[in-house]
Structure 1
Amino acid sequence: MEAVMKLRTMALLGIVFVVVSGSSCATKKYVRNRVNERVTPLENRTGELEETSRRNTQEISRISRDVEEVRGRADRAQQAADRAASAAEQANTRVTGVEQSVSDLRGNLDKYTLQKTVTILFDVNKSDLTPEATSTLTQLASQIKDRNGFLLEIQGFASAEGDPEKNERLSQARSEAVKKYLADALNIPLFRMYILGFGTSRPVADNSTKEGRIQNRRVEVRLLSNNAIASPSR
């Protein structure tokens, strides 16, 4: 009888152990499943946020590069505009200086009067004399070769195309070409000539038209005579 009771007790304890163990395992599995149900969406959401953050960082970097590039182009454009404005201002200053020199010279030559003006035309961006130009200068030289008391004021000009500073140099080169031809080919004394380059200032025609620009690419040779002594040399 006692042995039977022991067996029953042991069996009961075994059943309790199995029930408790099974219940414990079921509870752990349930908890784990519930945790996973909550954690997995959070992990997915965290991954999405990290990807969004990465894309935003890349986009911010791209926008920053674009802004720097635009700022660089703007700075370069401003520098170019400043250089152009400075060149134009310098050209205007030089023209003003030339005009003042002319005024001063004429003040010293108050006994001289303008007798005639000869106009020489030039091709675009050229300072070379055309056959027509040399013929005109030859005729002028033949009229003054036996005179005393004269001066030739040689004024160069350019049309309005291109850079103002370049046009000023071109107008000076055109005056130099006329002076050189008169001296070398026609034996006009150098001391009787002076040259000026006015660039695009003092146009005689509309620079917006082809014909006007042709008329503005010129040299004016002004014959000044001192009436007190202007007479054929003996």
Structure 2
Amino acid sequence: MKNSHGLLIAAAVAFVGVTGCTTKNYVKSQTAPIVDHTNQLEQKTADNNRAIHDVDDRATAGIKQAQSAADSATQNAQNATKAAGDADTAANDAVHRADSLDSVVKGLDNYKSMANVTVNFGFDKAVLTKDDKDQLDSFAAQLGTAKSYILEVTGGTDSIGSAEYNYDLSNRRADAVVQYLASKYGVAAHRFYLIGIGKDKEVAPNNTAEGRKQNRRVEIQLLSNMSNGQAPATTSQAAPPPPSSN
């Protein structure tokens, strides 16, 4: 009996051991897919996060690039607006100078045109040639006898180039004439009225080479105040009749 009882106990223990192992294996077999699925979800989540970051980085880079392009376009537009404003200001200044000279001359009825001369320049040039200087020398010969005179010096250009550049070029041409007359003939600065009108007032059509050549010029006009410093004219009176003879 004791042996039988011992065998039953051993068998029960063995059964319990077998049952325990079986239960663990079952639980392990059931939980393993869940763990694998969880790991897969975590991997997908990590992949999705990386993809989201990549998209966000590309979007941020695209926004920066678009903003940079927009900033460049805005700057270009501002530069173009400034250039147009500068050209418009230069044009208004030239018109104002021309109007100012006209008002000075027209306001003095006694100023009369005594002589004039025109010198022409090469393309994009502001340097006097020997022929130009010869013409100015002939013109200046009259200054010694002129009374209370002013010299109207007007520089012009052809139509090639921007308005702003041509205003500057026409001023340099007029200044070349002024410097020559002032240095060689001692003409005082206050006698000059210098204007650079650029391409605003053409004297010949700009669609021909000859016309453009004529527009690349400086016109010098001698204006003299004939009455200034002169005695007023006296009124003639009739001579008294001779005494009658007796």
CA positional deviation for 1:212: 5.0
**Compared with structure 1, are the counterparts of its residues 4 and 106 closer, same or farther at alpha carbon in structure 2 (3 Å cutoff)?**
same
Q: Deviations along 1:36-90, whole A, 9 cap, x unmatched?
A: 3422321231122012012112102211221231132123213212321321232
Q: Does 1:152 align with 2:148?
A: no
Give the secondary structure class of the aligned counterpart of 2:67. Answer: helix
Q: Scaled by the length of structure 1, what TM-score is found? A: 0.79
Residue-pair matches, total: 228
Given residue 102 of structure 1, which amino acid in structure 2 is its aligned partner? L
Once the 2 structures are TM-superposed, how far is the Cα of residue 32 of structure 1 from its aligned partner?
2.6
Q: Offset of 1:227 from its aligned partner?
A: 7.5
Superposition pairs of residues 73-152 of structure 1, within 5 angstroms = 73-114=72-113, 117-142=116-141, 145-148=144-147, 151-152=150-151
Q: Alpha carbon RMSD of aligned pairs, Å?
A: 3.1
- What is aligned with 1:27? 26
**Residues 205 and 16 of structure 1: CA distance in aligned 2, closer, same or farther (over 3 Å):** farther
Residue of structure 2 in register with 1:232 after alignment: none
Change (3 A) 1:224 1:13: same
Please identify, of 70-79 and 161-170, the stretch whose mean Cα deviation from structure 2 is larger.
Answer: 161-170
* Change in CA separation of 1:8 and 1:119 when aligned onto 2, cut-off 3 Å: same
CA distance in 2, matches of 1:224, 1:29: 118
What is the CA–CA distance in structure 2 between the aligned matches of 1:191 and 1:19, rounded to whole Å?
Answer: 127
The residue aligned with 2:5 is: 6
Please give the alpha-carbon distance, in whole angstroms, between the structure 1 residues aligned to 2:191 and 2:34. 110
Query: For structure 1, which segment, 195-204 or 165-174, has the greater mean C-alpha deviation from structure 2 after superposition?
Result: 165-174
After TM superposition, list the pairs within 5 Å mapping 1:146-185 onto structure 2: 146-148=145-147, 151-162=150-161, 164-185=163-184
1:221 matched to which residue of 2?
A: 220
Shift of 1:174: 2.0
- Tell whether the 8 Å contact from 1:138 to 1:186 is kept in structure 2 after alignment: no
Q: In the aligned structure 1, how far is the partner of 2:7 from the partner of 2:192?
A: 145
Residue 157 of structure 1, CA deviation: 1.9
Alignment-derived partner of residue 244 in structure 2: none
Identity %: 27
